[in-house]
Amino acid sequence: MSKTPNAKHKQDPTNRRDILDVAIIGAGISGINTAYRIQTELPDVNYAIFEARDTIGGTWDFFKYPGLRSDSDLFTFGFSWRPWTKNNPIADAGSILEYLRAATTVKGIDNHIQFNTRIQKANWLVKSHLWELTATTNNGVEHKSFARFLVLGTGYYDYEQALPVIIPGLDSFEGQTVHPQYWPTDLDYTDKRVVCIGSGATAITLIPVLAQKAASVTMLQRSPSYIVSISNSSKVSSLKQYLPERLAYILNRLYFLTFPILFYYFCRLFPTLSKNAIRKAATKQLPEGYPVDPNFTPRYNPFDQRVCFAPDGDFYDAVRRGAKIVTGTIKQVVSDGILLDDGSKLYADIIITATGLKMLWGGKISITVDGNPYRIGDKLAWHSAMLQDLPNAMVVTGYVMASWTLGADATAFLLCRLLRGMRRHGLSTIIPRVPTDGSVKACPLIPLSSTYVLAAAADSLPKSGNKGPWKRRFNYFTDTLKFKYGDVTEDLETYQEDLPVTGLKF
């Protein structure tokens, strides 16, 4: 994609020799995978990864709470180009970090990462057809970089702020209050009475680990979640002694690519049947006579909110060993515990507020076009990747009902297809535009009713549309085929310098 600079004024950034073809923000799973696809499919493209922290891994290095693990299988959550060869589909954070570091080093991606470099501003220069990136290092030094294409691989969590939740009287608690996002590494909960507020994936992960050492563990929930036990060993992996390792991996990956989709469709097509099946399975794993209602009976259908998974049924095992589930509403936190609306009291030495993480698209980067503010939350997402009216930029998004990495990989395939098309036709700029006839209606990008999703949708989350390339992505197989071989120019304006070009095929 490199160009020979024109003879322009020396201050024109297009004269610079250090212009990047692609700037990737974030060295987590999204950024690493994008880098691999670029250097493999477009080896002469000049790219760099800007990482605000001093190491790779994103979420898997940032969060420190005990039991942190993937909630998707590593055969699909891992990279297709770096097979996950262990037998356990669900892995802990340490194993995932080790895997990511090995993948990054072996493929030479680490040589392209600029650590301790936080991108504060990204301004599209219309006349120069470049992104001007303003960064600060951890010692406060500011510098600028320029790139022809911008990729935001920043994930979807706000590292600086958790989801704001008001818990009456929490300040009056004389014990220790902990949010999983800011877990103290020296927290000792041995022989302590622990109350964990929340019933989402974080709480479901914490309870089995806390129950191993705490005097008592209580999960206090306003409403329950669906919790499905899954085996954390792959039957296909046992065939490795009979099959080549690569073939065993392919079979594993195919299984985990298809089963979650089938399970999702089953739950959506037959909500009552699936609800009863999940409830029946839960009843079998609970102590005899345990109150399934209301503790394990959500008021919504499966996948209206995310379904939680318990590897080898560890959550139910913790309940059988004495962990308590209480469904109720907090009236007031007092000095030694929590009072509920029904008059009961939960005594606690430690309160864990697993009340949700704050979603954030774009990593708090100030995005502007020629200095004019651009609000992601006001726009629609084109193929769940590029953003309406934003030139030469892509946000890496994953799937909600499948592994995040699958969606990130589909995004990377689309990126490479667009970059090749731009080179072939000598394009400087591509911009997704929503048709002006009003035929595209805005829809939620993430079709879940969870509190953290609804909060993000009202602020930083882009929207999807009801038709064409504005519809949200859903299926890895069809999306990948589309992005590799289908038409990817619908509702996409293309320019050679300042001249619009129509009728192009990528």
Rounded distance, CA 201 to CA 69, Å?
A: 10
pLDDT of residue 16: 74
Q: What is the pLDDT of residues 454-500, one digit of tens each?
A: 555 556 789 999 999 999 998 999 999 999 999 999 999 999 999 99
Mean predicted confidence (pLDDT) in 165-183: 96
E-only strand ranges, 224-288: 227-230
Residue 35: CB atoms within 10 A of its CB come to 26
**Cis? peptide before 294, omega within 30° of 0:** yes
Contact 156, 361 (CB under 8 A): yes
- Name 11's Cβ contacts closer than 8 Å, sequence gap at least 6: none
Pick from 114, 96, 194, 13: which is nearest to 404 by CA? 96
412-444 pLDDT, tens per residue?
A: 999 999 999 999 999 999 999 999 999 999 998
C-alpha span between 489 and 491 (Å, rounded): 6
Domains delineated in the chain: 19-159+359-501 (3.50.50.60), 170-353 (3.50.50.60)
The pLDDT of residue 240 is: 74
245 pLDDT band (50/70/90 cuts)?
A: confident
DSSP state for residue 163 in the 8-state scheme:
P
Highest mean pLDDT among 150-159, 170-179, 233-242: 170-179
User: Which one is predicted more confidently, 237 or 19?
Assistant: 19
pLDDT over threshold 90, residue 237: no
Euclidean distance between CA atoms 235 and 340, whole angstroms: 45
Exposure string over 228-246, b if 16+ CB within 10 A, otherwise e: bbeebebebbeebeeeeee
Task: Find, among 506, 432, 416, the residue nearest to 468 by Cα.
Answer: 432
Query: Is the predicted pLDDT of residue 452 greater than 70, yes or no?
Result: no
> Which residues, in sequence order, are CB contacts of 231 under 8 Å at separation 6+?
311, 312
Can you say how many angstroms the Cα of residue 327 is from the centroid of all Cα atoms in its chain? 29
**Is pTM beyond 0.75 here?**
yes
User: Is 276's pLDDT higher than 50?
Assistant: yes
Weakest-pLDDT range from 28-32, 213-217, 354-358, 459-463: 459-463
**Cα–Cα distance measured from residue 307 to residue 295, given in angstroms and rounded to the nearest whole number:** 15
What are the structure tokens assigned to 463, written together? 């929207």
| pLDDT > 60? residue 8 | no
Distance CA 83, CA 74 (A): 9
- Closest by CA to 391, choosing from 144, 153, 125, is 125
Print the SS3 string covering 359-423: ECCCCCCEEEECCEECCHHHCEEECCCEECCCCCEEECCCCCCCCHHHHHHHHHHHHHHHHHHHH
Work out whether strand 350-353 and strand 366-369 pair parallel, antiparallel, or are unpaired: unpaired
Confidence at residue 3, expressed as pLDDT on a 0 to 100 scale: 44
In the prediction, which pLDDT does 253 show?
Answer: 93
